[in-house]
Chains A and B, each alone.
Chain A
Amino acid sequence: MSSVPGNMAEGRGFYRALVFRRQAILVGIVAALFLSTCADLALGPARYSLGEVFAALFTPDAVDVQARVILWEIRMPVALMALTVGASLAVAGAQMQTILSNPLASPFTLGISAGASFGAALALAFGVVLVPAAVDYVIPINAFVMAMLTSFLIHTLSMRRGVTIETIVLLGIAMVFVFNSLMALIQFFADQQAVSAVVFWTMGSLTKATWTKLWISTGVLALVLPLLARHGWALTAMRLGDAKAESMGVNPKALRLEVLVLVSVLAAIAVCFVGTIGFIGLVGPHVARILVGEDQRFFLPGAALCGALLLSVGSVLSKMILPGTIIPIGIVTSLVGIPFFLYLILNKKSSTW
C-alpha cells in the first residue's frame, strides 16, 4: 500500500523477499526431487538412460514392454515409496520437534521405530500375529500395531499431572531401550534364519514396496498434511514456548496431543512398510529449518520435501555404492547423511534451540 512511509515499507519489503526466497527454495527442492526420482528409476540391474526414463514416463506406449514393466511395475513403486516415506518421517519428526521443543525428537527417539521393529520381529521370529491379515501384510500390521501401542503408551503417560515435555522425550528414549532389549531377547531365542530376517528388516529397505503399500502410505500422508497445515500458525507459535503460545490464544496441551496422534500414525505407517530408517525423521526437519525457517507455511512443506529428497537420494546412492548390490537404505542414509548433517549444524549462523 502506498500510504505507508518509506522506512515502514522496508520491513514488508524484507518480508516479501524472504517469502519469495523460501518459495524459490521449495521449488528448487521439487526440481531436485524430480531429477533424483528419475535417477532412481534409471538405476538397477538393468540400466536405462535418463532419456529412456523420460520416454517411459511421458510416452509409455512408445517404449518396449520390458522397459515399461521394469520402470513402471518394479521400480516406480520403490522410487515413489522413497518420496512418501521420506516425507512422512520428516514431517513426523518436524512436528515432534515443534510440539516437544526438542531438537532430538523424532519417530526414532520417541520409540515408534523401535516399537515397529519389535512388532515385525515378533512375526518374523515366532510367527506371532497381532491382528489376523493377509500374509503380505502380517509383518507391516504387526509393526504398525506395536508402533501405535508405543505412542499410545507415551500419550497416556504424558497426560498424567506434572509430566513435562522433557519427560515425554525421556519416556520415548526409555521405550527405545526397552524395545532394544526385547529385540536382543528375540534374537537370542530365535533360529539363525529368523535372526537374519529380523536384522534385515531393521536395516530398512524400500524394496518391499508395492503399489498397494504406496497408495496406503501416500493416502495417510495426504490426509495428515492438511490436518497439520490447519494448525500452521498455532504450531509455529508453539516454538515460542507454551507461555507465549497460550498468550496468543493457542491451547498447547490440546494441540500437542492432537499433533502427537497424527504424526504417530504417519510415522508408524511409514516405518511399518520399510523398516527402521531413523535418520530421516531427525535430519529432514533440521535441513528444512535451516533452508526455510520455522514458519509452518514453509516449514511443513519444506520438511516433507527435504525428507523425500534425502530418502530418494539415499535410494540412488544405495544402488551406486556397490554396483549390482542394493545396500539397505537405512544404512546408506545414515552413513552418507551424517557428514552432511554435521556440516549443516556446525555451520549455521543462528542459535535456534
Chain B
Amino acid sequence: MVGLQLDRLTARYGSEEILREVTTPRFPGGQVVGLLGPNAAGKSTLFRRIFGLLKGGGAVCVDGAESSRPIVYMPQDTGANAALTVYESVLLARMQGRRLKVSDEDLDRVDATLAELGISEIAKRELGNLSGGQRQMVGAAQALVQQPEILLLDEPTAALDLNRQIGFLALLKRIARDRGMLILVALHDLGHALRFTDQAMLLQSGRLVDCGPTASVITSDTLWRVYGVKARIEPCSRGVPQLIVEMPD
C-alpha cells in the first residue's frame, strides 16, 4: 500500500518563509489525515509543496505507489466559468496527458465518479450555472476521477451544506479504506476532523505544531495555543468526542 512521509519540507514565497521544516511520520494508505490550522497557517502552501507546484527544501517521500503520478490535488475552489458541462469538466481532468480520443473506460470512470459523489443529476449543467456547493462537488469529482493513490483536498467541504459535508467526509473515509488510498484533507471544522479523520496535522505559521491520532492533536491545550479559543473536548452520550466551545467574555 502507498505511504507518504514529509521530511523537513520548506517553501517560500519570495523572501517570506511559509513552511518551516515540516516533518511527519509516514502516513499509510487507507487513512484520512486532517490538515488543520488557522487561516494563513500554510495549509494550502503545504499541499502545493507536496504536489510539486512549489519548490523548496526537504523531501516528499512516496513509497509503494503503483502509478507514475500517484498524487492528485484539489485546490481551494477557483470558481472559473467556461462553456463546459459538468460531465465534460470531469472527463477533462481524467484526460490530461492522454490522447485526444476518449475511450469507453474513460466514460465509465466519469459516470462512476459522478454517481459516487451523488451528482449524476447535474452532469448536463454548464459550469457557469452551478451553485457554490455544486462547484465544490465537481472539484472533488475532478480529483477522484484521476484515481489517485494519494489525494490532497483543500477545504473540500467549505461550501457544502451539513448533509453534504457529512456525506462527503464519510465517503472519503470509505474510499480510503476500500481503495487503500491516503487522503489528506484540509479542514476548518474541528468537530468534523474529530469524527472523520484518523490522524491530524496541526499547522501554525508554517510550523507543524502537532501530528498524530486526531483525538490526541485536538485538545483544550492546543486549541487555546493555536486558535486562541477556549474549548473542551468531551464524549457525548454515545462516547463520540465532541468539541464544546466556550464563548469569549
Which A positions have Cβ atoms within 8 angstroms of B?
1, 4, 7-12, 14-15, 18, 101, 229, 232-234, 236-237, 239-241, 243-244, 246-250, 289-290, 293-295, 297, 350-353
0/1 interface trace, chain B 84-101, chain A, CB 8 Å (1 if under)? 110111011101111010
Q: Report if A244-B100 is in contact (Cβ < 8 Å); known contacts: A8-B112, A14-B87, A236-B92.
A: no
Q: Report if A352-B100 is in contact (Cβ < 8 Å); known contacts: A7-B120, A14-B123, A295-B92.
A: no
Task: State the Cβ distance, A25 to closest chain B Cβ, in Å.
Answer: 13
Q: Check if A1 sits within 8 Å of B87, measured CB to CB.
A: no
Q: Check if B78 sits within 8 Å of A244, measured CB to CB.
A: yes
Q: Check if A236 sits within 8 Å of B84, measured CB to CB.
A: yes
Task: State the Cβ distance, A193 to closest chain B Cβ, in Å.
Answer: 48
Complex CA distance for A315 and B66, rounded to whole angstroms = 58
0/1 interface trace, chain B 114-144, chain A, CB 8 Å (1 if under)? 1100001001101111000000000100110
Task: State the Cβ distance, A204 to closest chain B Cβ, in Å.
Answer: 28
Interface stretch, picked from B103-111, B209-217, B221-229, is B103-111
Q: Check if A239 sits within 8 Å of B87, measured CB to CB.
A: no
Contacts of A249 in B (CB 8 A): 69, 96-97
- Number of B residues contacting the other chain (C-beta, 8 Å)? 46
Q: Report if A294-B82 is in contact (Cβ < 8 Å); known contacts: A8-B111, A350-B126.
A: yes
27 contacts between A and B (CB under 8 A): A1-B108, A4-B111, A8-B111, A10-B123, A12-B108, A14-B123, A15-B123, A18-B88, A233-B96, A233-B100, A236-B84, A240-B80, A240-B82, A240-B89, A244-B80, A244-B142, A246-B75, A247-B72, A247-B73, A247-B75, A248-B96, A290-B83, A293-B83, A293-B84, A293-B85, A293-B88, A351-B129
Task: State the Cβ distance, A128 to closest chain B Cβ, in Å.
Answer: 44
Which B positions have Cβ atoms within 8 angstroms of A?
51, 53, 69, 72-76, 78-85, 87-89, 91-93, 95-98, 100, 104, 107-108, 110-112, 114-115, 120, 123-124, 126-129, 139, 142-143, 146
Task: State the Cβ distance, B154 to closest chain A Cβ, in Å.
Answer: 9
Complex CA distance for A9 and B111, rounded to whole angstroms = 7
Complex CA distance for A65 and B142, rounded to whole angstroms = 62
Contacts of A297 in B (CB 8 A): 100
Q: Check if B97 sits within 8 Å of A350, measured CB to CB.
A: no
B100 touches which of A4, A10, A232, A237 (Cβ 8 Å): A232
A7 touches which of B80, B93, B115 (Cβ 8 Å): B115
